[in-house]
A and B are shown apart, each in its own frame.
Chain A
Amino acid sequence: MLLWCNCFMIFVDLYFIFLLCFCSYMVSKMSSKMVGSNNLAHARRMVQQLRVEASIERIKVSKASADLMRYCGENAKYDPLLTGIPASENPFKDKKPCIIL
């Protein structure tokens, strides 16, 4: 009777293992099929994207650098972190303790 129970348990385990293998096989089959057509759609999207990027207007680095430098120069005097602010005007100045002489 006990022997029969053990055999039954082993049979059930084997059945589950078989089911698991079968399912993972099916899933991998499905995903590989999807990947196939996904690759094509993905490649097409990439080509579209590259076509868009290739068609934009570009300027020379020298001109872009000159513009960046000009912007810095124009705004440098308004930049408190660059020129510093007098301590009396800065809201972040340290709180000084009162000295009672």
Chain B
Amino acid sequence: MCDQTFLAITFGPCDNCSQNKPLMNIYLKNEPINYCSLCVELMACQGLAKGETTNTLKAESESLKAKLEEERAKLHDVELHQVAEKIDALGQFVMKTRRTLKGHGNKVLCMDWCRDKRRIVSSSQDGKVIVWDAYTTNKEHAVTMPCTWVMACAYAPSGCAVACGGLDNKCSVYPLSLDKNENLAAKKKSVAMHTNYLSSCSFTNSDMQILTSSGDGTCALWDVESGQLLQSFHGHSADVLSLDLAPSETGNTFVSGGCDKKANVWDMRSGQNVQSFETHESDINNVKYYPSGDAFATGSDDATCRLYDLRADREVAIYSKDSIIFGASSVDFSLSGRLLFAGYNDYTINVWDVLKGTRVAILFGHENRVSTVRVSPDGTAFCSGSWDNTLRVSAYLRSSGESELRNILYNTV
């Protein structure tokens, strides 16, 4: 359940009554207007006087929805997997766990790679946030958060800070120092404040801004230095579980998915919801952009992952199998976008061929549900975190027959 409290984010003179009050930022005909809540209610009642009842509005929204479906259906001339029939199928995949990172005392809930391709930050249910070196499996930093269930963690693009949050309803940024003895908790900076748990956070292209999503149904963009709210995004009717930023350098859109089964695409500058997709049958646990930025994939509790194309404005592929009945908790694309790695609650990771829609590999190894899957920034490996308290880094090594045999003999996993 989410709080339907409308966050008053600005305080100032109302455009209508000119009194200093908390303002509600709403859009009329794509124009932003700042009215206080009293004037918004009066405006709503004025609409009533002009003959606009709830019923006529409902009828109009139904007809608009029908028109939207019709427009979308007109462009649905072919399926993605039909177009993809002419390309070669992928061969056998031999992906093995190369590193197992042990050290968390409880379920691993979230992880993120650093842009230097070797460091990983992970957070767990017991409140610990650990920074690892994936090549050597050493722990570099460890922070204990004052709350449990740290559901979100993110590495700053510069590699100098990590952000994390969870049941404390806040997002805290910790600057990482080279001095191992320094107490990181002392330098903590509280950035975001929500009215419910923090489900996901991500730095934008710089260390200066952070985007958060929360169980109160909103997403928000914050300035790290001042802790000020720059923009808030309202539109979900239930908890928002995940968000992802568009990959391009100049990109200013992001996608969010939530318990209302909707995936919404937002414009970061205006706060406007530009596109909305509602085809899942259950909560959307994770959303991830396709590397080109033209599409995104979602993983959901209805045991399917789906690919939505932004320019065609519809779902273009479903990745599901009758034998998979457990929800997908996390998805990520490989570098080229050909492979989709999805972690499921049945302790496995399924690898899907994005274009053909078929499964190319199942990876076993975890002893409890897989909570997070992320591919490294250069695409050489992917890391999966699980409720069995470990993280596993897996890669696809191509080697000649003889050395492969040696690898199997000395493989400690």
Contact = CB atoms under 8 A, between A and B. Distances in A.
Interface of A: 37, 39-41, 43-54, 56, 58-69, 71-76, 78-87, 90-94, 96-97
Contacts of A92: 98-99, 134-135, 380-381, 393, 395, 397
A47 B57 contact: yes
Contacts of A83: 398
A82 B398 contact: no
Interface stretch (B23-31, B207-215, B253-261): B23-31
B311 interface: yes
A81 B355 contact: no
Given A63-B312, A92-B380, 6 more contacts: A43-B54, A67-B292, A68-B316, A78-B335, A82-B90, A90-B395
Interface string B41-78: 10011011000101001101100110110011001111
Nearest to B75: A60
A91 B380 contact: yes
Contact of B275 (A53, A64, A79): A53
B227 interface: no
20 contacts: A40-B44, A41-B41, A48-B28, A49-B235, A54-B67, A58-B72, A61-B75, A61-B76, A61-B79, A63-B312, A68-B337, A68-B354, A69-B83, A79-B336, A79-B339, A79-B379, A81-B381, A85-B398, A87-B397, A87-B398
B3 interface: no
Interface string B350-363: 00001100000000
B378 interface: yes
Interface string B222-262: 00000000000001000000000000000000000000000
Interface in B72-106: 72, 75-80, 83-84, 87, 90, 95, 98-99
Interface of B: 26-30, 40-41, 44-45, 47-48, 52, 54, 57-58, 60-61, 64-65, 67-68, 71-72, 75-80, 83-84, 87, 90, 95, 98-99, 118, 134-135, 235, 272-276, 290-292, 294-295, 309, 311-314, 316, 334-339, 354-355, 375, 378-382, 393, 395-399, 403, 406-407, 410-412
Contact of A68 (B235, B273, B294, B407): B294
A94 B403 CA distance: 12
A69 B83 CA distance: 9
A20 B99 CA distance: 60
Of A67, A76, A81, A97, the most chain B CB neighbours within 10 A belong to A81
B337 A72 contact: yes
B273 A49 contact: yes
Contact of B272 (A47, A52, A75): A52
B366 to A, nearest CB: 18
Contacts of B393: 92
Given A54-B68, A62-B78, A68-B309, A75 B335 contact: yes
A82 B64 CA distance: 43
B336 A78 contact: yes
B77 A61 contact: yes
Of A68, A69, A82, the most chain B CB neighbours within 10 A belong to A68
B275 A94 contact: no
Contacts of B272: 52
Determine the main DSSP class of B at the interface with A: mixed
Contacts of A63: 311-312
B308 to A, nearest CB: 10
A12 to B, nearest CB: 35
B403 to A, nearest CB: 6
A54 B78 contact: no
Contacts of B26: 45
Contacts of B64: 47, 50-51, 54
B355 A85 contact: no
A44 to B, nearest CB: 6
A49 B406 CA distance: 60
A93 B397 contact: yes
A56 to B, nearest CB: 7
Given A65-B78, A68-B309, A84 B337 contact: no
Given A43-B54, A78-B379, A87-B399, A65 B336 contact: no
Given A58-B311, A87-B407, A92-B135, A64 B77 contact: no
Contacts of A54: 64, 67-68, 71
A61 B61 contact: no
Given A53-B275, A69-B84, A81 B410 contact: no
A87 B375 CA distance: 19
